[in-house]
Each structure stands twice: as C-alpha cells, then as structure tokens.
Amino acid sequence: MKGRSLAWLAALPLVALLLLLVAPLLRLSLEGWGGVGQAAPSLWQMWQDDYLRWRVGWSVLQAVATCVAALALGLPVAWVLARFEFAGRALSLRLLMLPFVVPTLVAAIGVLALWGPQGLLGGLLGLDLQGTPWLLLYGNLFFNLCLVVRAAVEALERVSASQLAAARSLGATPWRAFWRIEWPAIAPWLASSLCLVFLYCFAGFGLALVLGGQRYATVEVEIYTLVAHELKLAEASALALAMLLLTGGVALLYAGLVRRLGAPARVEPVPRRAPRGLAQWLALAAALSVLLLVCAAPLLAIVWRALLAGPAAWAELLAPDTLAALWNTLRFSALALLFATLIGLAHALSARSGLLWRTASYLPFVVSPVTVAFGLLLLYPSWTASLPLLLAAYALLAYPFVTQSLTAGLDSLPPQLAQASRNLGAGPWRTLWRVTLPLLRPALRRGMAFAAASAVGEFAVTLFLSRPEWATLTTLIYERLGRPGAANRDAALVLACLLMALALLVFVLIEWPARQGSVNGPTNRPSRKLAHA
C-alpha cells in the first residue's frame, strides 16, 4: 500500500484533524493566552486562584491515587491469571473487556447503585459515601483496573521461562525471582498502562460529573461549568490549555513506552499450571473476587436495582422521549461509525510510510472530549447546534480505534502477498480490494466495534454541541439523575440497563471469535475508554 496512487488517502484524515482538532485547539489557545479583543486571565493568574489550584491539584491527586490502587490490585490479579490454568480463565479474560465498552454514565450509576446512600453494599454496611472522594476513586478503578490487568497478563506471558528456571535453579526464592527476572520484563508494560490510567482519570468527565459532587469534581467538570453555566469562556480556555499541556506531556511519555514495546523479543513463555495447595487456590479466589467486586459488581447492581424498580419505571422504556433518545443514539452512532470507518481506513492505509503520520492518529486520544467540544464551540459558533458538527465530533473521537486496529493488522500482513498480487498484474486498488481488505476484515470489525462503543456512550460532546431535541440515552439519563425523587432515580436505572444492553452488543462484536489465520487487531491495550469521555 505504499504506492503513490494511494497516497492521496491521507487527505481525508488530514483535513479532519486540521479542521476538527488542530484549528479548534489553536483557537482555544488564543483564547486562553489573552482572548480575542478582551482581557483574559493568563495561565499564571489562573494558578494564583486557590479554587482553581484545588481543582487541578485534586484532578492530579485522584489520577495518581487510581494509578497506585490499580497497580497494587492489578499486578497480583494479573500474576494469578498469567500463571494458573483453571476453568473459566478464557472467559475471565474476555470479560475484562466489558468495562471498556460500558459508557461512563452507566458506570457512574452502577457505583451509586452499589455504594450510594441506598446502594446494595452501602445500605447493607451502613456506609454513606456520598460527598466523599471514594465514589470517584472506585469508579476510576472500575474502568482502569482491567487495563492494568490485561497489560500485565500480556507482559507476564512474555517472560522467558528459561531465565526464570535458571534463577530458581540457582537458589532464588519465588519472590526474588519475581523481582530479578519478571519485574524488569513487565515494568515497561505496566508503565505504559499506568500512563493511560492517568490520562483517563485526569481527563475524565462523566464519572467526575456524577460522582465527584461539588467538592471533588475534576478540572474537566470545572471547564464545563465555566462554559455552560457561567459563560466564562476566557477562564475556561486558560484552564483547558493547562490541561492540554499536562496531558500532552503524559501522552508523549506513553508514546515513547509504546514504541519501546513495539517489537518484543521471541521467548518461550512460562507454562501455566493448575493451582496446587490451599494457598494457591485462595490466591485464585482472591483474584477473582477482586475482579468481581471492582469490575462486575456495579453492573450487577444496576440490573438488580432496576429489577426492583417496579413496572412504572420499566414503562419509561416506551415513553416518547426514551424512544426519541434511543433513535438519536442509534442514528448518531451509525452515521458517526460510517464516517469514522472511512477516516480510519484512509489514515491506516496512508500511515504505513511514516512514523509521524502514524503517531498523528493518537491526537484525538490526547485531547479530552470536553476540550475538543469547547474548541469546536469557540471556532464554529454558528455551527454549534448543527448536526454535521456533532457527527463530525463523534467521528473524530471514534476513528482512531479503527486506525489503530487496522495499522496493527497491516503490520502483521506478510509483504509477499501484496508483492505477489502486483507481480500478477493487479494494481494498488485491486490489491487493496481483493487481498488486503479480506485479510483485514477481523481487525476492521474489531476497530469498528470499539468506535461504535465510543459513539454509543459519548456524553461530553453531546452536552456541548447538541440540541434538546437531539437528546441521546446518555443525556436523558443525566437529566433523570438531576431531578429529585425516587421515580426519576428508578427511571435512570432502567435507562442505564438499556444503554448497557447496547454496549453489550458491541462487546459481543469485539470478542466474537475470529477465523483462524485471519489478522486480528490488538485488544489488550485499548487507547481510550470509550467514553472515558
């Protein structure tokens, strides 16, 4: 696919990035550094505000705390999953994908249904975590623990069995062998996953909006409040610019780590074995219990509380506004998926010739959805409530999933196939259509599934750029949560079940068994929570 006849494919993603990301960020930077024809606070003045310093400091603190907790819980769990063979292991690894496709608003409702004032565990234990930071930290762990576990499992499966056996034969204890052999091998993988955890938590919006409350909301929530409720665009721009600088630095660190892990050495992995003895069985039970409590319990709590809500709450599914929101969610997601697939395919095919252009596909992941939406709001004020701009923003945030999956698939294709096709007289387009795309079908399907999940659960962009008549399931759930009364709470639970059902359909698409011999895109390190938005 290196022929010049396909080089023009780069024009489509290039135009999308320039118009929907780079130009809005430049406009945002201009506003943040002094505004257009108005006085605006500088970044230095912003740091002198005690309130804003607390918001930024708390945003960093909760992201770091989540990284520490995810590492402390995830590494032992991953070691058990990587070293022990047991019934249900493959299913457990597949279910670890579930948090990646659950919208953030569903996760927030699940946390409240589990640990809220009337939650299953909160009510049972007599705990009221409302107004504390623990709800947000638990919600962060729901999304990010699986990310660390999957990265650590993959890294542990690349540890050399011969080196580990040699260390043990020389008298090293299991603990010493871990620190001297396994830890140096898996540390870069863990570091890369923790960079993503930090980015997801620091730039998170939906969880912080619902679970953070007035005191423990993050900078992203503050930006939304300044724009939507106080109309302080200059202050919001300065804050968003500071966020962008920090997340950009962490993203560069992540890109460097990923590049280091790009070509792993071939090793003989450590063979898995069945647990032996009471201690190993207890370790397995503890690992599965952690996954159940952190990753599955919030979703089970939603279903349980919704089943107890009663017929009146379930009648909400047939309400006109619910049907309209469902229709909007489906059509917006379908159209965004179409655009995202076209842009992602063009970017992947044109990115094979250069590392810089390949790295450009990560740009929508570096910038938070709130910053993207705010930049579009500033740059295109007359298009704010237009459907094309809303769909374009959806597609911009979703297409990198397609690009990354296809890029990994293209890297795995033997170059002799394309060369043989060209030697037989096929041109670049015929080779693409008859040889490359059929082999990339599983990778394309997987990238589209992640993109669809991202669009289904998109929340921040919809709040900024949508009209009331364009309400989706996410905005409808948020509206129900904002109203007082048990009836609205039960309706939000039922709607969350509906949204979760759509996410589960995407989950089935992602994890559908691929045909043998086909090229599969990577699933172990998805680059953004679909909606870590």
pTM for the model stands at 0.81
Integer angstrom CA distances of residue 528 from 59, 328, 523, 525: 18, 23, 12, 9
Q: Mind listing the pLDDT tens digit for each residue in 446-485?
A: 888 888 888 888 888 888 888 888 889 999 998 888 888 8
Residue type, position 185, single letter: A
446, 487 in Cβ contact below 8 A?
Answer: no
CA dihedral sign of residues 260, 202, 227, 99: positive
What is the phi/psi pair of residue 86, to 5°?
-150, 160
Does 77 have pLDDT greater than 60? Answer: yes
Tokens of 310: 């009663």
Of 344, 346, 336, which is closest to residue 394 (Cα–Cα)? Answer: 336
Contact between residue 370 and residue 236 where contact means Cβ atoms under 8 Å apart: no
* Residue 145, phi then psi, degrees to nearest 5: -60, -40
The tokens for 317 are 């599914």
pLDDT tens by residue, 485-514: 888 888 989 999 999 888 777 767 665 644
- What is d(CA 416, CA 521) in angstroms, rounded to the nearest whole number? 20
- Residue 215 DSSP code: T
Query: Which residues are CB-contacts of 65 (< 8 A; sequence separation ≥ 6)?
Result: 137
Q: Is the model's pLDDT at 439 over the cut of 70? A: yes
Of 444, 446, 456, 439, nearest to 509 by C-alpha is 446
Tokens matching residue 493 = 């639970």
Least confident piece of the model among 139-153, 215-229, 330-344, 418-432: 418-432
Residue 449 structure tokens: 């599934």
CA dihedral 203, 475, 17, 198 (to 10 degrees): 10
* Stronger pLDDT, 248 or 518, i.e. the higher one: 248
Topology classification of domain 4-34+48-264+307-511: MetI-like fold (1.10.3720)
Q: Is 121 exposed, middle or buried (0-12, 13-18, 19+ CB in 10 A)?
A: middle
Ramachandran assignment for 30, one of left (phi > 0), alpha (psi -120 to 50 degrees), beta (any other): alpha
Domain locations in the chain as residue ranges: 4-34+48-264+307-511
Confidence of residue 516 (pLDDT cuts 50, 70, 90): very low
pLDDT, position 518: 39
Structure tokens at 183: 């830890």
Q: What are the Cα distances from residue 377, in Å, to 62, 352, 385, 414, 461?
A: 28, 33, 9, 45, 10
Positive or negative, the Cα torsion across 84, 86, 91, 96?
Answer: negative
The torsion angles phi and psi of 84, rounded to 5 degrees, stand at -110, 140
pLDDT single digits (tens) 273-290: 899 889 999 999 999 999
Q: How confident is the model at residue 529 (pLDDT cuts 50, 70, 90)?
A: very low
Mean pLDDT of 151-160: 87
pLDDT of residue 249 exceeding 80, the answer is no
CA–CA distances in Å: residue 227 to residues 222, 274, 524: 9, 56, 36
Distance set, CA 457 to CA 102, 242, 399 (Å): 7, 26, 15
Phi, then psi, of 39 in degrees rounded to 5: -80, 130
Mean pLDDT of the chain: 80
Q: Are 374 and 335 in contact (CB under 8 A)?
A: no
pLDDT tens digits, one per residue of 1-54: 444 455 567 788 889 999 998 888 888 777 766 554 444 455 566 667 778 888
226 CB-near residues (< 8 Å, 6+ apart): 232, 233, 235, 236, 239
Task: Please enumerate in sequence order all residues whose Cβ is within 8 A of that of 6, keeping only pairs 6 or more positions apart, or say none.
Answer: 349, 350, 428, 429, 432
The angle subtended at Cα 335 by Cα 7 and Cα 528, nearest 5°, is 75
C-alpha 106/C-alpha 302 separation (Å) is: 8
Rounded Cα–Cα distance for residues 27 and 35 (Å): 9
d(CA 49, CA 188): 37
Cα separation, 395 vs 77, whole angstroms: 35
Do 238 and 41 form a contact (C-beta atoms < 8 A)? yes
Query: 279 CB contacts (<8 Å, ≥6 apart)?
Result: none
Which amino acid appears at position 89 of this protein?
A: R
Nearest alpha carbon to residue 499 among 330, 369, 335, 308:
330
115-147 per-position pLDDT tens digit: 877 778 877 777 778 778 899 999 999 989 998
Question: What SS3 state is found at 84?
Answer: strand
- As beta bridge partners, residue 84 has 273
Classify burial at 314, counting beta carbons within 10 Å of its beta carbon; exposed 0-12, middle 13-18, buried 19 or more. middle
The SS3 of residue 273 is strand
